[in-house]
Amino acid sequence: MKLNNDLSKIKEENEFFMLTEKVKNFRKNNPNCEIISLGIGDVSKPIIKPIINAMHEAVEDLSKMETFKGYGDSSGYHFLKQKILENDYKNMDFTFDEIYISNGTKTDVCSILELFDINSTIYIPSLIYPIYKNGVHCLSRNLKYFHVHEKENFVPQVPNEKFDIVYICSPNNPTGIAYSYEDLRKWVNYAIENNAIILYDNAYSAFINSPDVPKSIYKIDGANKVAIEFRSFSKNISFSGVRCSYYVIPNKIYEGINKIWKKRTINRFNGADYIAQKGAEASYIEDAQTEIKKNIDDYLNNTKRLKSAFKKLGFTVFGGEDSPFLWVKIKEGINSWEIFNLYLKELNIIIIPGIIFGEKGDGFFRVSGLGSRENIEKAIEKLEKYYNYR
């Protein structure tokens, strides 16, 4: 018996584990200290009432003989696909067969690799949501990094070399930068010319407001021949604990592609939770949309507040316009674990060391506006005192 040796290549678990351990130890040694996290990658607002009500009704459905649901369609219920097609992909001519409802983008961005040849070269930006590279390792695929540069605002640039599959995440975690029509058009054109595929992680689409940033990659001409788009209900409707997501595989990518993937899906997945799908369906009601928008605006306002505070303190800050994340350049000339330790000890503030997202991230840290406004104001006060702005 031999274990999958590629699993040992996964480092990320150790780094996040290290962070949690450091905070745990600090709490143990300083039990009365209030620690504020600016590192939060999860939402903090509860699920809104119209969605909760829909999920209560779904629970009731399960309690009655006439409305009970057992296994559903492994690619998701039509009632949710219909809402997605009518709202998120209006006038785009996608069909029910091209939409897959699932239980989280984290699952989807990795498992999609099973659709492609095992020898495909998978291109990954050097600063990334670590799950892509770890997913590639889990499935023992060939991985190649390409660098993103500060001077290009961390926007990935099309390479001179060949690849088969590329992960693009916009709005980006960790940099908080959202890519424009122009940025994405270059990737779509490359993919068309080189018979490549773009795996487009759009988990933060709800945060997009800028007119030059497309809400979907399919707004770019030809993207429906080369891109698979992933979206999540985790961040817009606080479903990170409920679990619901979806992705689109356009028929135009390859003849019969959805027949092949349906076969795989039926055999490897028994469908997303009925209650979750009912909740997600309710998120498209007009009243719900208004409340969701307000929550997103609150997070974005938190992020803008943090951005202006860090800038006032002399930091160079990226992102935060169409994303809840800010990517802050360390000005002290220390590395990202060192600033993590410093802020924890001196300010009792948690930030995420940039190195967790790749070696190129070591001169940076990530903060987010996903926490409460009250905590963000407290953190800003501490930072301003520390840097002698108060």
Return the number of the residue (50 or 174) whose C-beta is nearest ligand PLP: 174
User: Is-contact 232 245, C-beta < 8 A?
Assistant: yes
**Contact between 203 and ligand PLP (CB under 6 A)?**
yes
The residue whose Cβ lies closest to ligand PLP is 104
Pairing of strands 142-146, 197-201: unpaired
What letter represents residue 302's amino acid? N
* Contact between 173 and ligand PLP per CB under 6 A: yes
Closest distance of CB 105 from ligand PLP, Å: 4
The span from the CA of 378 to the CA of 38, in Å, is 11
Neighbours of 334 (CB within 10 A): 14
Instruction: Could you list the beta-strand ranges (E) of 148-289.
Output: 165-169, 197-201, 227-232, 245-248
Cα gap 46→238, rounded to integer Å: 6
> Which span (19-27, 104-112, 274-282, 292-300) binds ligand PLP, by CB under 6 A?
104-112
Q: Which residue has the tokens 């990334």?
A: 128
SS3 of residue 47 by DSSP: coil
Check binding of 104 to ligand PLP (CB under 6 A).
Answer: yes
H helices present in the chain, as ranges = 12-29, 49-63, 78-87, 105-111, 131-138, 181-194, 257-268, 274-282, 286-312, 336-342, 373-386
Residue 245 vs 258, nearer CB to ligand PLP: 245
Q: What is the token pair recorded at 205? A: 């689409």
Pick out residues in 131-170 that bind ligand PLP (CB under 6 A).
169
**What minimum distance in Å lies between the beta carbon of 112 and ligand PLP?**
12
Strand order in the sheet with 352-353: 317-319, 325-329, 364-368, 352-353
**234 is a site residue for ligand PLP (CB under 6 A):** yes
Contact segment (CB under 6 A) with ligand PLP among 98-106, 114-122, 178-186, 263-271 equals 98-106
Among 240, 335, 341, 372, binds ligand PLP (CB under 6 A): 240
Site string for ligand PLP, 25-44 (x = CB under 6 A): ----------------x---
From candidates 94, 129, 246, 315, binder to ligand PLP by CB under 6 A: 129
Q: ∠ CA(320), CA(325), CA(329), 5° rounding?
A: 85
Among 75, 170, 216, 232, binds ligand PLP (CB under 6 A): 232
Cβ contact 27:154 at 8 Å = no
368 near ligand PLP, rule: CB under 6 A: no
Q: Which residues contact 71 (CB under 8 A, 6 or more apart)?
A: 270, 271
Smaller CB separation from ligand PLP, 101 or 380: 101
Q: Is there binding between residue 323 and ligand PLP (CB under 6 A)?
A: no
The nearest distance, CB 98 to ligand PLP, in angstroms, is: 19
End-to-end CA separation in angstroms for the chain: 63
Nearer to ligand PLP, 128 or 347 (CB): 128
Region from 76-84, 99-107, 191-199, 328-336 binding ligand PLP, contact rule CB under 6 A: 99-107
Give me the least distance between CB of 66 and ligand PLP, in Å please.
32
Determine which helix (DSSP H) or strand (DSSP E) holds 327, and give its type and residue range: strand 325-329
* Residue 234 beta carbon to ligand PLP: minimum distance, rounded to whole angstroms: 3
Per rule CB under 6 A, is residue 105 in the interface with ligand PLP? yes
- Of the ranges 43-51, 153-161, 232-240, 353-361, which one interacts with ligand PLP (CB under 6 A)? 232-240
Strand 227-232 and strand 197-201: the pairing is parallel
Q: Rounded distance, CA 257 to CA 228, Å? A: 12
Based on CB atoms, which residue is closest to ligand PLP, 169 or 196? Answer: 169
* 175, 205, 238, 245: which one binds ligand PLP (CB under 6 A): 245
Q: In the complex with ligand PLP, which residue's Cβ is closer, 139 or 334?
A: 139
Nearer to ligand PLP, 81 or 366 (CB): 366
- Residues binding ligand PLP (CB under 6 A): 41, 104-106, 129, 169, 173, 201, 203, 232, 234, 240, 245
